[in-house]
């Protein structure tokens, strides 16, 4: 059964059927009832792709995942196969389904032309292929999102500030406080020479975690030491090389992500396992495999279920000026056990 057959049975034109389906206000009530009766009798369901062409917004939320050069070198974001990314995607799928929507996942490469990215996203919105979009992992230099927000599109950004005067929604993880508490946890277990291995400096999350680390260090009168890194296992291994070559080595390390910690732990196990086992180490993201590391990795967990449900609800309930902070929790494991006291 198609719209032409419905029109013939109802004794109206095909355009009238289309207008009834799309709830146009200029259709006489009697005509509308007649067409709807035929539709119900024959269980007619309009093709959703045809609906897109008619301007009906689809119940589809797009999740755009931004991959930097560091991500692409490591391969874990480029292939969408890291447990971190897959965990976020799965929660967003369920959150969208709770609102009777579907999720579309797209990858954005840092080296793509921003004008082209912006044009394609606008086309997705303007063609009604999507009704909202979420952006994850954007850097400060991702200016296309600011243009999309200023144009009034229904957008949420995770850990990259956007304007909220229009329809923009800011979702921020509690990074600074979490890094502060993770650093204090290491200090409370007897570690006093704590190095931060930082994330990508052009990402809000990395800067917030650094601020939290510095707060705790200054509060306890300790000396701060930072190694610039990036969110990748490869760079974590390179950071380990720098630490092992240094004249003065830390007794604890706060990694801006678990991926960094994995690279660091792997390299240190190869080169100086005794030093590795004496270190206090904490990471960020609480990846599912942390319990299987040796030592098992202490880490800050972000509530991705809360993140997904909060984001989707904020986008679909049509409210503006929205900002939300997502809760976190520190999971202490073997890598941050109390520092052994020196034998006399």
Residue 253 is inside which H or E element, if any?
strand 252-255
What are the start-end ranges of the H helices in the chain? 3-10, 14-21, 29-41, 48-53, 69-74, 83-98, 114-126, 144-150, 175-188, 204-219, 233-245, 258-271, 273-278, 304-316
Could you read off the pLDDT of 184-217 as tens digits, one per residue? 999 999 999 999 999 989 999 999 999 999 999 9
One domain for residues 64 and 165: yes
Residue 342's pLDDT is what?
Answer: 63
One domain for residues 186 and 292: yes
Which residue's entry shows tokens 């904490």?
282
- List the domain range (segments joined by +) for residue 129: 60-173+304-327
Beta bridge partners of 44: none
One domain for residues 298 and 189: yes
Average pLDDT, the chain: 88
Concatenated DSSP letters of 284-325: ES--GGGGGSSSPPEEEEE-HHHHHHHHHHHHHTT--SEEEE
One domain for residues 308 and 169: yes
One domain for residues 160 and 46: no
Per-residue pLDDT averaged across 14-32, rounded? 79
One domain for residues 186 and 294: yes
| pLDDT value at 176 more than 50 | yes
Neighbours of 267 (CB within 10 A): 21
Which residue's entry shows tokens 């009766």?
37
In a domain, 220, yes or no: yes
One domain for residues 168 and 184: no
Contacts of 217 (CB under 8 A, 6+ apart): 183, 194, 223, 224
* CATH code for the domain of 227: 3.40.50.2300
* CATH code for the domain of 48: 1.10.260.40
One domain for residues 209 and 120: no
Could you read off the pLDDT of 154-168 as tens digits, one per residue? 999 999 999 876 668
Residue 228's pLDDT is what?
Answer: 92
In a domain, 26, yes or no: yes
Lowest-pLDDT range of 162-171, 225-234, 273-282: 162-171
Residue 82: band (very low, low, confident or very high) from pLDDT cuts 50, 70, 90:
low
Residue 288: band (very low, low, confident or very high) from pLDDT cuts 50, 70, 90:
confident
Question: What is d(CA 303, CA 310) in angstroms, rounded to the nearest whole number?
Answer: 11
In a domain, 314, yes or no: yes
Question: What is d(CA 309, CA 304) in angstroms, rounded to the nearest whole number?
Answer: 8
Residue 20's pLDDT is what?
Answer: 82
Structurally, the chain folds into a number of domains equal to 3
Cβ pair 243, 271 in contact under 8 A: no
Question: What is d(CA 211, CA 213) in angstroms, rounded to the nearest whole number?
Answer: 5
Residue 324: band (very low, low, confident or very high) from pLDDT cuts 50, 70, 90:
very high
In a domain, 341, yes or no: no
In a domain, 90, yes or no: yes
Which residue's entry shows tokens 């059927």?
17
Beta bridge partners of 171: 158, 324
In a domain, 124, yes or no: yes
Which residue's entry shows tokens 């009798």?
41
């Amino acid at each position: 059964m198609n719209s032409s057959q419905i029109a013939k049975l109802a004794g109206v034109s095909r355009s009238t059927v289309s207008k009834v389906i799309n709830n146009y206000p200029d259709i006489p009530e009697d005509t509308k009832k007649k067409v709807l009766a035929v539709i119900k009798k024959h269980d007619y369901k309009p093709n959703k792709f045809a609906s897109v062409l008619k301007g009906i917004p689809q119940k589809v939320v797009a999740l755009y995942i931004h991959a930097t050069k560091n991500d692409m070198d490591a391969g874990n974001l480029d292939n969408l196969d890291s447990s971190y990314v897959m965990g976020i995607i799965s929660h967003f799928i369920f959150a969208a389904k709770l609102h009777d929507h579907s999720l579309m996942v797209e990858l954005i490469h840092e080296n793509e032309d921003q004008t082209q990215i912006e044009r394609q996203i606008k086309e997705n919105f303007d063609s009604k292929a999507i009704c909202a979009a979420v952006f994850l992992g954007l850097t400060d230099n991702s200016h296309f999102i600011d243009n999309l927000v200023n144009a009034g599109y229904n957008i949420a950004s995770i850990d990259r500030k956007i304007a909220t005067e229009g329809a923009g929604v800011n979702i921020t993880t509690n990074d600074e406080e979490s890094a502060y508490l993770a650093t204090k946890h290491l200090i409370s277990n007897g570690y006093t020479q704590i190095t931060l291995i930082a994330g990508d400096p052009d990402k809000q999350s990395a800067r917030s975690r650094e601020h939290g680390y510095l707060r705790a260090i200054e509060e306890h009168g300790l000396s701060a030491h930072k190694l610039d890194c990036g969110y990748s296992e490869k760079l974590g291994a390179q950071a380990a090389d720098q630490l092992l070559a240094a004249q003065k080595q830390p007794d604890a390390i706060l990694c801006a992500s678990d991926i960094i910690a994995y690279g660091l732990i792997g390299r240190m196990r190869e080169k100086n396992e005794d030093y590795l086992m004496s270190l206090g180490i904490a990471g960020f993201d609480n990846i599912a495999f942390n319990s299987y590391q040796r030592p098992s990795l202490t880490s800050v967990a972000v509530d991705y279920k809360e993140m997904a449900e909060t984001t989707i609800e904020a986008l679909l309930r049509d409210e503006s000026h929205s900002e939300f902070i997502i809760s976190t929790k520190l999971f202490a494991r073997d890598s941050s056990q109390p520092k052994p006291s020196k034998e006399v």
